[in-house]
Amino acid sequence: MSRSRNDEIATLLEEFADLLDAKRVEYKPRSYRRAAENVREYPQPIEELAAEGQDAVEEIQGVGDAISSKIVEYFETGEIEELEALREDLPVDMRELTSVEGVGPKTVGDLYEALGITTLDELEEAARASEIQEVKGYGAKTEENILENIPFARESQERELLGDARPLADSVLDFLDSVDAVERADVAGSIRRWKETIGDVDVLVASDAGESVVDAFTDWPGADSVIEAGTGKASVRADGIRVDLRVVVPAEFGSALQYFTGSKEHNVHLRNVAIERDLKMNEYGVFDVSDVEDTSDQRAGRRVGGETEAEMYAALDLPLISPELREDTGEIEAAADDELPDLLEPNAIRGDLHTHTDWSDGDNTIAEMVAGAAERGYEYHVVSDHATGPGMVGGVGLDDDELREQIDAVADVAAGADIEVLHGVEANVDAEGGISVADDLLDQLDVVVASPHSALGQDRETATERLVRAIEHPSVDVLGHPTGRLIHTRPGLELDYERVAEAAVEHGTALEVNANPHRLDLNDAGVRAAVEAGATIAVDTDAHSPATLDYMRYGVHTARRGWAEETDVLNTRGVEGLRAFLH
**Three-state secondary structure of 307-367:** CCHHHHHHCCCCCCCCHHHCCCCCHHHHHHCCCCCCECCHHHCCEECCECCCCCCCCCCHH
Structural domains for the chain: 4-156 (1.10.150.110), 160-248 (3.30.460.10), 253-336 (3.30.210.10), 346-582 (3.20.20.140)
351-352 and 241-248 strand pairing: unpaired
Mean pLDDT by 10 residues, the chain (583 residues): 68 93 90 88 86 92 92 92 94 89 91 94 94 93 91 77 95 96 97 95 97 97 92 91 95 97 96 95 94 84 94 97 98 98 97 97 94 98 92 76 97 97 97 96 97 94 98 98 91 95 98 97 97 98 96 98 98 97 92
Q: What pLDDT, on the 0 to 100 scale, is given for residue 4?
A: 54
Question: Whole-angstrom Cα distance, residue 168 to residue 156?
Answer: 19
Q: What pLDDT, on the 0 to 100 scale, is given for residue 422?
A: 98
Question: Whole-angstrom Cα distance, residue 321 to residue 309?
Answer: 9
Cα distances (Å, whole numbers) of residue 220 to 27, 68, 488: 38, 27, 29
**Three-state secondary structure of 555-569:** HHHHHHHCCCEHHHE
Q: What pLDDT, on the 0 to 100 scale, is given for residue 156?
A: 66
Question: Whole-angstrom Cα distance, residue 95 to residue 487?
Answer: 14
Q: What pLDDT, on the 0 to 100 scale, is given for residue 297?
A: 86
Residue 215's H or E segment, with its range, is helix 210-218
Q: What pLDDT, on the 0 to 100 scale, is given for residue 306?
A: 93
Q: What pLDDT, on the 0 to 100 scale, is given for residue 395?
A: 61
Q: What pLDDT, on the 0 to 100 scale, is given for residue 191?
A: 97
Secondary structure letter of residue 570 according to DSSP: G
Tell me the sheet residues that pair with 513. 539
The answer to whether the Cα torsion of 452, 456, 458, 461 is positive or negative is positive
Q: What pLDDT, on the 0 to 100 scale, is given for residue 2?
A: 41
